[in-house]
Amino acid sequence: MIDERHKSALVEILGENGVIMDRAAMAAYEIGARHDHGHAALVLRPGTTAEMSACVAYCVRQRIALVPQSGNTGLVSGSTPDASGSQIVLSLDRMTRRFDLDIDNRSLRVDTGILLSEVNARLEPSGLFFPVDLGADPRLGGMLATNTGGTRFLRYGDVRKNTLGVKVVLADETGTVVDLMSGLRKNNTGVDWKQLFVGTAGAFGIVTECELNLERLPKQVATTYLVPSGSVAVMPLLRTIEERLGSYLSAFEGMSKNAIGAALAHVASLRNPFQNGQIPDYVILAEISRSWAPRDGEQPIDAVLESVLADILQGDDALLADAFVGPAHEMWALRHALSEGVKHAGRLVAFDLSFRRADVLAFCEWMKAELPRQFAGVDIFDFGHIGDGGVHFNLVASDASQVDAAFEQRLRDWVYSVAVDRFGGSFSAEHGVGRKNQAYYDRYTPQKSRDLAAGLKRLTSPGSLGSVCFG
């Protein structure tokens, strides 16, 4: 679908190693993490901002559509090409050269093709880390494009909160480079333009470098599984723990019985931690942490957590049915295995939703009652970030043949209408906007907001960039 002269021109810009044309080699860039598959005309792999600018400028002038791709771990078809074979995938996987740590400023200037795991491995000797924690291992560019939150959002915030600056290549005829890099945490001199490029799926420009806020690595961590006495006890329990533990609280993750059961069934190395192997209806993984080493005379962090839990268990309001403290690596292993377990439980239709905190469990309870009446044979395998109002609302049909395209469409339409219209939630908490939810962006985004986004797109990157239409 791409003329040979374009291929030759792009090889001249990027070199042989910067262009992939072999169909077998392109396959890894064409297949997404969840049920999406497209066909790329070819794959471009620039290694520097200057190379990115040159190849983007060429493609815009030639009216060739570009789809930026980071780690290809997204779940809403935001970084994979469509089926036309006419789009070029623009990969960040060679953008890995820059890694400039400023210990005094507690910040990192880095290329956006570096994996999150590599960032934190290289920061560990300095006692620092980038605090957006995920089960997957994305590249930084994708994290910026989707404004990921992760399991410790409650303590550290999302990518937007932890981004100090960006360098961006715009999709215009000159591949304009906009340098918004800054180590400043306070700069109220006008519009904060860097935020235009965070959480917008690469539609307004491609972030090639960024400056990130870093945090001190926790030196003391204590984790617990909490079994609330019922769904109505979850919010009072969270408020009580926040009151008693304050900024120590770094995670408050909810896990349903079905999700836990799927993880234990799929991952043989996991240990069932519950008495007699009986999984409670709902379990919360809570974590508290300190960034300093233990001090003489200071109450150990496990003892702090156990003391608070003992008070809650003995309280008159009966918020907890059970609670126990355990090794952090074991407890988090179960939490991080939930996605894989659910994926193997049957035909999965996944939703990434957010609500006001008190509405998360209200929505889930409402769905438990109504879903069987609307869609027989579909079960709920939910888990998520109760502390910040997020829930991965996973629906699984044990009979995969039941879920054809029409069935999935009806199911998605119904769930989103309940989440957004009835409960005032968001149809995409942290997965971003991709082809899979373009229709819901169009449906639920006010026209004025869409008009403003379309205007920004024309001003920044008028070329065909990305898989999302924000207008």
Ordered DSSP codes for 384-415: E-GGGTEEEEEEEESSGGG--HHHHHHHHHHH
Q: Per residue of the chain (471 residues), give pLDDT as tens.
A: 789 999 999 999 999 999 999 999 999 999 887 767 899 999 999 999 999 999 999 999 999 999 999 988 887 888 999 999 999 999 999 999 999 999 999 999 999 999 999 999 999 999 999 999 887 899 999 999 999 998 999 999 999 999 999 999 999 999 999 999 999 999 999 999 999 999 999 999 999 999 999 999 999 999 999 999 999 999 999 999 999 999 999 999 999 999 999 999 999 999 999 999 999 999 999 999 999 999 999 999 999 999 999 999 998 888 999 999 999 999 999 999 999 999 999 999 999 999 999 999 999 999 999 999 999 999 999 999 999 999 999 999 988 888 999 999 999 999 999 999 999 999 999 888 998 899 999 999 999 999 999 999 999 999 999 999 987
- Asked if 80 and 144 sit in the same domain, the reply is no
Under 8 Å between Cβ of 61 and 108: no
Asked if residue 162 is part of any domain, the answer here is yes
Last residue of a domain, one of 340, 369, 400: 340
- Asked if 83 and 10 sit in the same domain, the reply is yes
H/E stretch holding 129 reads strand 128-129
What separation in angstroms does the CA of 177 have from each of 109, 111, 166, 174, 227?
Answer: 17, 14, 11, 9, 52
How many Cβ atoms are within 10 Å of 421's Cβ, its own excluded?
A: 10
- Asked if 127 and 159 sit in the same domain, the reply is yes
Q: What tokens were used for 212?
A: 């990130």
Asked if residue 60 is part of any domain, the answer here is yes
Asked if residue 452 is part of any domain, the answer here is no
Report which of 196, 134, 201, 126 is spatially closest to residue 166, judged by C-alpha positions: 196
Asked if residue 438 is part of any domain, the answer here is no
Last residue of a domain, one of 340, 362, 377: 340
Distance of CA 152 to the CA centre of its chain: 12
CATH number for the domain harbouring residue 164: 3.30.465.10
- Asked if 336 and 351 sit in the same domain, the reply is no
- Asked if 361 and 389 sit in the same domain, the reply is yes
Distance CA 199, CA 192 (A): 14
Q: What tokens were used for 124?
A: 């560990």
Distance CA 113, CA 208 (A): 8
Q: What is the pLDDT of residue 310?
A: 96
- Asked if 256 and 184 sit in the same domain, the reply is no
Q: Which domain holds residue 186?
A: 103-216
Asked if residue 441 is part of any domain, the answer here is no
Asked if residue 107 is part of any domain, the answer here is yes
Report which of 301, 310, 283 is spatially closest to residue 247, judged by C-alpha positions: 301
CATH number for the domain harbouring residue 262: 3.30.70.2190
Number of domains into which the chain is organized: 4
Last residue of a domain, one of 36, 68, 94: 94
Asked if residue 451 is part of any domain, the answer here is no
Q: What is the pLDDT of residue 386?
A: 93
Backbone φ and ψ for 122, nearest 5 degrees, come out as -75, -25
In 176-297, the DSSP E strands lie at 177-180, 206-213, 215-216, 220-228, 249-256, 282-290
User: Sign of the C-alpha dihedral, residues 257, 260, 263, 266?
Assistant: negative
- Asked if 168 and 227 sit in the same domain, the reply is no
- Asked if 253 and 317 sit in the same domain, the reply is yes
- Asked if 115 and 193 sit in the same domain, the reply is yes
- Asked if 255 and 235 sit in the same domain, the reply is yes
Q: What tokens were used for 167?
A: 């360098």
Asked if residue 448 is part of any domain, the answer here is no
Distance CA 91, CA 77 (A): 15
pTM (2 d.p.): 0.93
- Asked if 300 and 350 sit in the same domain, the reply is no
Backbone φ and ψ for 381, nearest 5 degrees, come out as -125, 70
User: Sign of the C-alpha dihedral, residues 225, 229, 234, 239?
Assistant: negative
- Asked if 354 and 418 sit in the same domain, the reply is yes
The single residue listed with the structure tokens 């309870």 is 365
CATH number for the domain harbouring residue 410: 3.30.70.2740
